[in-house]
């Protein structure tokens, strides 16, 4: 009996062992859990690749953004410098305009004073000429107009008296005063 028991035991062990001896892959190929696990693994690989691409894109965008920010800051600094230079130039031109206005007003005042002085001088000369001709007429006031040597008397006056060379020295002081 012992031998029959042994053979039965062997048969039962071989049937038990044959189920355990099959490879794990063969046992899991037909299994739905294995297929789901494979899909999850593929999805994880795909998502990891996508994460790497997005990180690369993110790094590139950050670098571009930093470059743009640096360029913007440089341009803003340059614009501020240009604005300051134009402001200073504008202020200097405004100061120059103010100085020219002051100089213009000063010159205008000088011109007005010179015109007034010229007008007074013209009036004085007119007065001197009036006195000269009154002196030339003579002390009577109603006398004839005397002419300078070498000049002809006016045709409209009949009572004009000519100054001769002998009378000239007495009138020379009046003429030299002018």
**The pLDDT of residue 167:** 45
**The pLDDT of residue 20:** 55
> Rg of the Cα trace of the chain?
65
DSSP annotation of 126 reads H
pLDDT band of residue 25 (cuts 50, 70, 90) is low
Q: And the tokens for 112? A: 């007005």
Average pLDDT, the chain: 76
Distance from C-alpha of 17 to C-alpha of 8, rounded to nearest angstrom? 14
Q: Could you read off the pLDDT of 111-153 as tens digits, one per residue?
A: 999 999 999 999 999 999 999 898 888 766 554 445 444 444 4
Q: And the tokens for 104? A: 């213009």
Q: What is the mean pLDDT of residues 11-29?
A: 54
- The full set of domain ranges for the chain reads 71-148+158-178
**The pLDDT of residue 158:** 39
Helix (H, G, I), strand (E, B) or coil at 103: helix
**The pLDDT of residue 104:** 97
Instruction: Give me the torsion for CA of 24, 25, 26, 32, rounded to 10°.
Output: 100
**Percent residues over pLDDT 90 in the chain:** 52
Q: And the tokens for 71? A: 């360029």
Chain centroid to CA 89: 9
**The pLDDT of residue 35:** 82
The structure's pTM equals: 0.39
Q: Could you read off the pLDDT of 47-82 as tens digits, one per residue?
A: 999 999 999 999 999 999 999 999 999 999 999 999
**The pLDDT of residue 107:** 96
């Amino acid at each position: 009996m012992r031998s029959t028991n042994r053979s039965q035991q062997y048969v039962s062990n071989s049937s038990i062992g044959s189920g355990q001896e099959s490879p794990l892959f063969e046992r899991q190929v037909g299994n739905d859990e294995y297929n789901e696990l494979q899909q999850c693994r593929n999805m994880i690989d795909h998502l990891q690749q996508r994460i790497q691409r997005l990180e690369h894109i993110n790094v590139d965008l950050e670098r571009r953004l930093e470059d743009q920010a640096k360029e913007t800051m440089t341009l803003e600094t340059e614009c501020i410098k240009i604005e300051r230079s134009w402001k200073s130039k504008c202020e200097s031109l405004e100061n120059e305009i103010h100085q020219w206005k002051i100089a213009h007003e000063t010159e205008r005042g000088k011109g007005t004073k010179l015109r007034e002085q010229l007008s007074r001088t013209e009036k004085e000369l007119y007065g001197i000429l009036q006195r000269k001709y009154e002196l030339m007429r003579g002390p009577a006031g109603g006398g004839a107009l005397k002419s300078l040597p070498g000049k002809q008397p006016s045709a409209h006056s009949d009572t004009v008296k000519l100054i001769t060379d002998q009378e000239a020295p007495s009138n020379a002081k009046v003429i030299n005063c002018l």
